[in-house]
Structure 1
Amino acid sequence: MSPDFLRPVRPLIAGITALLSTSIAYAESTHGIAMYGDPALPPDFVSLPYANPDAPKGGKVVFGNTGGYNSLNPFVQKGSSPWQLRFWTHEGLMGRSWDEPFTLYGLLAESVETAPDRSWVEFTLRENAEFSDGTPVTVDDVIWSYETLGTEGHLRYRGLWGKIDSIEQTGPRTVRITFNEPDRELALIAGLRPILQKAQWEGKDFANAGLHDIPVGTGPYIVDSYEAGRYVNLKRNPDYWGTDIPFRKGTMNLDEMRIEFYGDGTVLFEAFKAGELTAVREFNADKWANQYNFPAVQRGDVVKTEIPHGKPSGMTGFVMNTRKAPFADWRVREALTLAFNFEFINDTITGNAQPRISSYFSGSDLAMQPGPASGRVEELLLEFKDDLPPGTLEGYTLPESDGSARNRSNIRAATKLLAEAGWTIQDGVLRNENGGAFTVTVLLQQGDTESETAIEIYTRALERLGIAVSTEQVDSAQFTSRTSELDFDMTYFRRALSLSPGNEQRLYWGSENANTPGTRNLMGVASPAVDGMIDAMLASEGHEDFIAATRGLDRVLTAGRYVIPIWNFDVGRIAHAKELKQPENLPIYGDGPEYMPQVWWYEE
């Protein structure tokens, strides 16, 4: 064959060769993976930037939880377990650095490999990775964990399973997961799934296991002893497999951690003042300023530490159940928001020391911008113009009061909106056209004194509108059960959000599970616009498109008036025994479950 025959196709061959070379280079195994760009830490990093690799090991600490528990399995829907367990006792193939928006580094897996379009991801297990009982972690354990959590586990784990086309062993220590939809984040989410021991659950009912069936994990801590509803004691595993890997250097330094359970926050705080607890997190700025002056603080035995952060505000407030008729109407939700006299309530509870949350991603570059939508944000939203709540495109801001107790102008505005929605005062009672009275039951957890105070003030305003309000205070187990069953009109709500929001947004406010018991979409929002913004966010290949989609989502959620926002936790506040020490470097995410106690240490 003449060489000239190939001349017309040489450019094509060269292009294909270049593309394949690029794909192969991109698909090489690496020590970490970032949502966008490259990991900040090099392959030979020594430790996470906010950990002290020379931190001493040792010490015993005691923390406090309110309420109780009836399960030690945090991976199933049934029961209520101590929230700390999944952070202390179990691990994923990868671990997250909290000093980057969304980057993972090797944990149980020594390396990760992915397709250029992230249609698949492959993990290689470390040879020495093992469970707390000394048995090795195998690819079979990994595959079983993904399938079991995806079909029988807590709802937070099930979404990923539906997006997996296949999961298969590709080598002695390698497992490949192929996805069935384009979503660049799935490779990272897969890396974070906890790995359980298959052999432990053979012949057992994983989803309905009893209290004594404590899942075996690979994490640094194991449950040493417990008494249902009273305490859980954990000890650092002396044979923990991962002590020397870079991701773990300078972390998990405490020898023993105990969780004591108290009836409410007041009793817990008194226990801390008495020296029974080692550290507490304080979320009220006024209390921080005025009630942390007890003798142990004055002596220097207790230290007050403030930890700034750069993450979004998230959403904290009182969520309305839109599955119920009164709250399905945006005008009713706006009226109830108008009646919530935030300025007066904030002054009463926090001394105006904490600013109000203005949107779900406020305080970050992901937040919706003031005024009308423009540019790429407007383009994305216009695709759903018939589904948008009023104010989405035009711009929406939370109503403000004059700070007085009466809040007259906002009450008048609320009365007008309620009338437009078909609710009018009849003999002092707000009724609809059928004579049905407007009633609201607020579900609160026992010991939540701040919410109780806020609702007491709010109740007086609602009564002026002719609305009858009742408050139900239940223990933590009942609160979990009631919210899981969506059995509430209004309740306290908190969703922390990251600098790299992704698939968890479907869990929080996606339509698919809006009416499923156990859903985290407590408000019941089922909006094509919300789903569309999440889809656009997850399909974004560039950072600018990602920001536009997130700002669009922020607009739809905020203008939807699903939650009455309260104050922002703009700084972390931890009061702790002087023996507890922390690194000098702070992560951009500030405080959180994987900062204290994970990178702190005990020093006499």
Structure 2
Amino acid sequence: MNFKQLSKSCLASAIFISSLTSPLNAALPEHGIAMHGDLKYPTDFQQFDYVNANAPQGGGVTQAAIGTFDSFNGFIIKGTAADGLGLVYDSLLARAQDEAFSLYGLLAESLEVAEDRSSIIFNLRPEARFSDGQPVTADDVVYSFKLLREQGAPFYKAYYRGIENIEALTPQRVKFSFSSGENKELALIVGEVSILPKHFWENRDFQQPLLEAPLGSGPYTVEKFDSGRQITYRRNPDYWGNDLSVNRGRFNFETISYDYYKDGTVALEAFKGGEYDFREENSSKRWATGYTGAVFDDGKIITQTLQHENPTGMQSFILNNRKSYFSDSRVRQALAYAFDFEWTNKNIFFGAYTRTHSYFSNSEMAATELPTTEEVAILESIRDQVPPEVFNTVYRAPTTKGDGKTRSQLRTALRLLKSAGWNLKDGKLLNAQGEQMSFEILLYSPAFERVVAPFSRNLERMGIIPSVRLVDVSQYINRVRSFDFDIIVSGFGQSSSPGNEQREYWHSSTADQPGSRNMIGIKNPAIDYLVEQVIQAPDREQLVLRTRALDRVLQWNHYVIPQYHINSYRVAYWNKFAFPQIRPKYSLGFDTWWVKPESLKQGLSN
């Protein structure tokens, strides 16, 4: 109730005062929400600090994609979705890339959050439209979540399982109720989901790959495509959200295209030949040796290394714990001694990388020192369920001198393997049944064969038979989704505010769900407990402490063989682009770039 309503009803002043302090009062509408702390941007902010609101619009950008695609439905595990589909969709809220985790109104002009975050109401903008002109309504929001949780990839069911009810209060007002107010992140992450048009999907089979252009409310629409080879998005001239503060200075390209190539080496040569004009490089060898020639010398192509403050997560050799060989942590620990990072970094990566020791590397949440008293208090209830080293030793992945001499490391590995029932006999590592240890390392990128080769040689010296299998991207995706692998090279990306995604990575409930991100197959009650502790963290301080505790237990279970990371973006682009002087802390911010006016005039925009 507001003051006028109370006055008209002539209630006693005592009751009036009581009603103002009652927890039943509706929350006041807000323009945004922060995970912890205050919002950076006020109600009347005009733009994010890292954009140029006066950036010219027009021209186009073409990028490379690797492999192929056969679907425009990226919300299911079937098919290989085309790159760039996020351009088609809007969400209820938009993330600020210069804050740890803050969201501001996009489809929703305001939101009302219960004090304990047990519910949130989104008030939709009446002007919000899908690209066919139909309004975005609360029914579309309800339908989207129902569709994703019931028929989408397993990720959605796990990620949003804390949603107890979704209700369309009016055509422009939708309420989410949560099973517990302890999961404070849930009020934010529901705001980041792509909202799907009910009238488009209700007569289509959502569980099958989509072979036609999708419909959304975002800034771009699919203009044309050559299935599996190329796709072009065009900025919607009638995009309803052009003038919003969260969009000002963004989405400046008239067209965004993706050309598909077999592998990164072929794609780089095409780039140098002018076939496309922006590239983010992920190979240190290519970055060190491939970006040379006249087009670089005369400034036609610019190369830059741009620092960022993102947590770099964990890239690693992932050992499938569902396989009998890898169910013993001593075996997993032993295999890590076969990866000589120091030699690999020096001889293959040109010294470009830093060794990864933490699942939350490059962040304050990484466990890099002995646990504090506060962390021990978090871990105490599971002391008998975790390795003792969690409490008394800082984890470091095995290291070498980088000279290629790994005899002492391999001896350590063999001692661990012997304790797990494996013995080296006549050059073969055998178990009690006389079976030689052998497994497959599954890859999709030829560039990674050179990284795996020295690792494989060290494994062979331990009496193991490793085989390296290179498959195409589609086959690789399908095999990983069905957990049909022994070892793969992959990673677990992290944000500056870990939360519900940790359940999808490590929780027992996701280990047997095909398509889940629990690729390792972890089923560990102690980790389940810590995941829930992270999700329920009441403030930033506790989030950091609880995440460090989770990091320690993951580290000392030796689930992966850590590899390496870099805290910068390596980008190369034809000299027709410009970007704002202020860059966002937590992203490359490519959606804030633009084509230079002089390039537009010279016809270099495509």
For the superposition of Structure 1 and Structure 2, which TM-score range results when normalised by the shorter chain? over 0.9
Corresponding residue to 1:391 among 385, 389, 392? 389
CA contact (8 A) 1:572 1:590 kept: no
Equivalent position amino acid for 1:389 in 2: P
Following superposition of structure 1 onto structure 2, how do residues 98-109 of structure 1 map, counting pairs within 5 Å? 98-109=97-108
Q: Deviations over 1:496-525 (max 9, x none)?
A: 211101101111111111121101111111
Label 1:390 to 1:407 Cα distance change in 2 as closer, same or farther (>3 A). farther
Which residue of 1 is the match for residue 485 of structure 2? 488
Q: Deviations over 1:335-364 (max 9, x none)?
A: 110111111111122122211112011221
* Matches of 1:14 and 1:139, distance apart in 2: 33
Which residue of 1 is the match for residue 175 of structure 2? 176
- Residue 201 in structure 1 maps to residue 201 in structure 2: yes
Label 1:254 to 1:13 Cα distance change in 2 as closer, same or farther (>3 A). same
Following superposition of structure 1 onto structure 2, how do residues 122-201 of structure 1 map, counting pairs within 5 Å? 122-181=121-180, 182-201=182-201
- Residue 375 in structure 1 maps to residue 384 in structure 2: no
* Matches of 1:351 and 1:204, distance apart in 2: 51
Moved more, 419-428 or 278-287: 278-287
Which residue of 1 is the match for residue 8 of structure 2? none
How far apart are 1:17 and its partner, in Å? 5.5
Equivalent position amino acid for 2:592 in 1: V
Corresponding residue to 2:585 among 582, 588, 591? 588
CA contact (8 A) 1:312 1:360 kept: no
Equivalent position amino acid for 2:474 in 1: A
Following superposition of structure 1 onto structure 2, how do residues 360-509 of structure 1 map, counting pairs within 5 Å? 360-371=359-370, 373-395=371-393, 396-447=395-446, 449=447, 451-509=448-506
Matched residue SS, 1:170: strand
How far apart are 1:13 and its partner, in Å? 8.2
Which residue of 1 is the match for residue 530 of structure 2? 533
Structure 2: stretches of 5+ with no match in the other structure: 1-11, 600-606
Corresponding residue to 1:554 among 525, 544, 551? 551
CA contact (8 A) 2:77 2:481 kept: no
Which residue of 2 is the match for residue 7 of structure 1? none
How far apart are 1:436 and its partner, in Å? 1.4
- Residue 571 in structure 1 maps to residue 573 in structure 2: no
CA contact (8 A) 1:122 1:176 kept: yes
* Matches of 2:458 and 2:578, distance apart in 1: 46
* Matches of 2:221 and 2:390, distance apart in 1: 49
Label 1:16 to 1:533 Cα distance change in 2 as closer, same or farther (>3 A). farther
Matched residue SS, 2:378: helix
CA contact (8 A) 1:283 1:569 kept: no
Moved more, 67-76 or 478-487: 67-76
CA contact (8 A) 1:92 1:193 kept: yes
Which residue of 2 is the match for residue 217 of structure 1? 216
- Residue 277 in structure 1 maps to residue 270 in structure 2: no
Corresponding residue to 1:519 among 501, 507, 516? 516
Equivalent position amino acid for 1:439 in 2: S
* Matches of 2:274 and 2:304, distance apart in 1: 17
- Root-mean-square deviation (Å): 1.8
* Matches of 1:283 and 1:160, distance apart in 2: 29
Matched residue SS, 2:54: coil
Equivalent position amino acid for 2:512 in 1: N
Label 1:160 to 1:329 Cα distance change in 2 as closer, same or farther (>3 A). closer
Which residue of 1 is the match for residue 44 of structure 2? 44
Label 1:20 to 1:321 Cα distance change in 2 as closer, same or farther (>3 A). same
* Matches of 1:224 and 1:402, distance apart in 2: 54
* Matches of 1:83 and 1:101, distance apart in 2: 26
* Matches of 1:338 and 1:306, distance apart in 2: 32
Equivalent position amino acid for 2:218 in 1: G
* Matches of 2:191 and 2:499, distance apart in 1: 14
Equivalent position amino acid for 1:190 in 2: V
Label 1:455 to 1:289 Cα distance change in 2 as closer, same or farther (>3 A). closer
Matched residue SS, 1:269: helix
* Matches of 1:172 and 1:147, distance apart in 2: 17
Matched residue SS, 2:345: helix
Matched residue SS, 1:232: strand
CA contact (8 A) 2:430 2:436 kept: yes
CA contact (8 A) 2:122 2:173 kept: yes
Q: Deviations over 1:157-177 (max 9, x none)?
A: 222443221111223310001
Equivalent position amino acid for 2:516 in 1: T
Equivalent position amino acid for 2:524 in 1: S
Equivalent position amino acid for 1:422 in 2: G
CA contact (8 A) 2:317 2:490 kept: yes
CA contact (8 A) 2:72 2:209 kept: no
CA contact (8 A) 2:221 2:234 kept: yes
Label 1:14 to 1:242 Cα distance change in 2 as closer, same or farther (>3 A). closer
Which residue of 2 is the match for residue 602 of structure 1? 595
How far apart are 1:141 and its partner, in Å? 0.9
Matched residue SS, 2:169: strand
Matched residue SS, 1:360: coil
Matched residue SS, 1:392: helix
CA contact (8 A) 1:431 1:438 kept: yes
How far apart are 1:369 and its partner, in Å? 3.2
Structure 1: stretches of 5+ with no match in the other structure: 1-9
CA contact (8 A) 2:83 2:258 kept: no
* Matches of 1:285 and 1:68, distance apart in 2: 24
Equivalent position amino acid for 1:577 in 2: W
Matched residue SS, 2:389: coil
Which residue of 2 is the match for residue 304 of structure 1? 303
Label 1:211 to 1:203 Cα distance change in 2 as closer, same or farther (>3 A). same
Which residue of 2 is the match for residue 258 of structure 1? 257
CA contact (8 A) 1:196 1:215 kept: no
Equivalent position amino acid for 2:411 in 1: R
Equivalent position amino acid for 1:554 in 2: D
- Residue 121 in structure 1 maps to residue 133 in structure 2: no
TM-score, L = length of structure 2: 0.93
Matched residue SS, 1:385: helix
* Matches of 2:522 and 2:505, distance apart in 1: 9
CA contact (8 A) 1:308 1:590 kept: no
CA contact (8 A) 1:357 1:567 kept: yes
Equivalent position amino acid for 1:78 in 2: K
Label 1:161 to 1:310 Cα distance change in 2 as closer, same or farther (>3 A). closer
How far apart are 1:15 and its partner, in Å? 9.6
Matched residue SS, 2:565: coil
CA contact (8 A) 1:67 1:263 kept: yes
Moved more, 285-294 or 489-498: 285-294
* Matches of 1:338 and 1:77, distance apart in 2: 35
Label 1:327 to 1:289 Cα distance change in 2 as closer, same or farther (>3 A). same
How far apart are 1:299 and its partner, in Å? 1.2
* Matches of 1:244 and 1:159, distance apart in 2: 35
* Matches of 1:500 and 1:536, distance apart in 2: 14
How far apart are 1:379 and its partner, in Å? 1.3
- Residue 80 in structure 1 maps to residue 77 in structure 2: no
* Matches of 1:435 and 1:167, distance apart in 2: 57
Equivalent position amino acid for 1:388 in 2: V
Which residue of 2 is the match for residue 20 of structure 1? 22
* Matches of 2:505 and 2:50, distance apart in 1: 29
Matched residue SS, 2:456: helix
Matched residue SS, 2:22: helix
Which residue of 2 is the match for residue 543 of structure 1? 540
* Matches of 1:155 and 1:79, distance apart in 2: 15
Equivalent position amino acid for 1:543 in 2: R
Label 1:369 to 1:545 Cα distance change in 2 as closer, same or farther (>3 A). same
How far apart are 1:590 and its partner, in Å? 3.5
Matched residue SS, 1:225: strand
Matched residue SS, 1:61: strand
CA contact (8 A) 1:132 1:240 kept: yes
